[in-house]
């Protein structure tokens, strides 16, 4: 399964739901986006206020200025990966020129223009895809996050045996671990570990162990 294996965000428009809390990433520019329109990707880097930081599920709240800036970039990427307002250019532009997104479990790597296929693919599976961030750890240029990929299976999944599995409306809640490595305000490497067994099960696509056993 090819899966993921996420501008200055205004307080009025850019809201990421993190662990059930509504957190807005605040910009250095004040003009908001209206009617769900995406904020242009060439605007200033996002920032986080002390109040917003206080609401995040951080394991350590004593962050340096650089760590806060790195966290804001990562949260922006999650925001632009939400099914209701996907913004591919902003996600792609958050990476360095040689940046890579690794779907570690599936063994897929995305670089350059290929980064632009990640978000549309997920939305093609779960139109309302959302990432529920449960625990966030920031250590210098590394941001580690425990989360769940959630959504409704209302799209289509290509089968390795041919054909497609059509969406059935099942709710998906897949445990995931993300590790973001940043350099000079850009994402150098993003390693994503998705709980595919749980995701497939939620989608109604279980592994056929009986067929595997019968082959031997």
CA distance 74 to 205: 31
Q: Position of tokens 């998705």?
A: 194
Q: What is the pLDDT of residue 209?
A: 67
Q: Which residues pair with 21 in a beta bridge?
A: 18
Give DSSP secondary structure letters for 94-109.
TEEEEEEEEETTTTEE
Predicted pLDDT of residue 161: 79
- First-to-last CA distance in the chain? 25
- Alpha helices by DSSP H, listed for the chain, are 50-55, 65-79, 88-93, 118-125, 196-203, 209-214
Burial of 84 (0-12, 13-18, 19+ CB in 10 A): exposed
The pLDDT tens digits of the residues spanning 111-142 come to 999 999 999 999 999 999 999 999 999 999 99
- Residues 153, 204: contact at Cβ < 8 Å? yes
Would you mind telling me the total number of residues written for the chain in this entry? 216
Query: Does the predicted TM-score (pTM) go above 0.75?
Result: yes
Measured distance CA(197)–CA(134) in Å, rounded: 20
Place of tokens 């990432």: 131
pLDDT in tens, the chain (216 residues): 344 333 322 222 223 333 332 333 322 222 223 223 333 344 467 999 999 999 999 999 999 999 999 999 999 999 999 999 999 999 999 999 999 999 999 999 999 999 999 999 999 999 999 999 999 999 999 999 999 999 999 999 988 878 889 999 999 999 999 999 999 999 999 999 999 999 999 999 987 666 667 665
């Amino acid at each position: 399964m090819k899966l993921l294996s996420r501008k200055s965000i205004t307080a009025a428009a850019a809201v990421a739901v993190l662990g059930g809390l509504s957190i807005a990433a605040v910009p250095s520019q004040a003009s908001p986006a209206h009617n769900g329109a995406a904020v242009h990707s060439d605007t200033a880097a996002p920032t986080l206020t002390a109040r917003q930081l206080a609401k995040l599920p951080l394991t350590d709240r004593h962050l340096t200025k650089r760590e806060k800036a790195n966290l804001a970039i990562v949260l922006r990427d999650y925001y632009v990966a939400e099914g209701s307002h996907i913004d591919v250019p902003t996600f792609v532009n958050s990476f360095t020129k040689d940046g890579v997104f690794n779907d570690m479990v599936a063994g897929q790597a995305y670089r350059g223009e290929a980064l632009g296929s990640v978000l549309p693919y997920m939305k093609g599976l779960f139109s309302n895809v959302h990432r529920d961030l449960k625990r966030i750890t920031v250590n210098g240029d590394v941001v580690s996050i425990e989360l769940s990929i959630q959504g409704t299976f209302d799209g289509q999944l290509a089968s390795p045996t041919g054909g497609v599995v059509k969406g059935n409306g099942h709710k998906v809640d897949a445990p995931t671990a993300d590790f973001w490595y940043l350099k000079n305000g850009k994402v150098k490497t993003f390693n994503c570990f998705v709980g595919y067994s749980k995701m497939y099960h939620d989608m109604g696509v279980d592994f056929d162990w009986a067929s595997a056993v019968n082959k031997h």
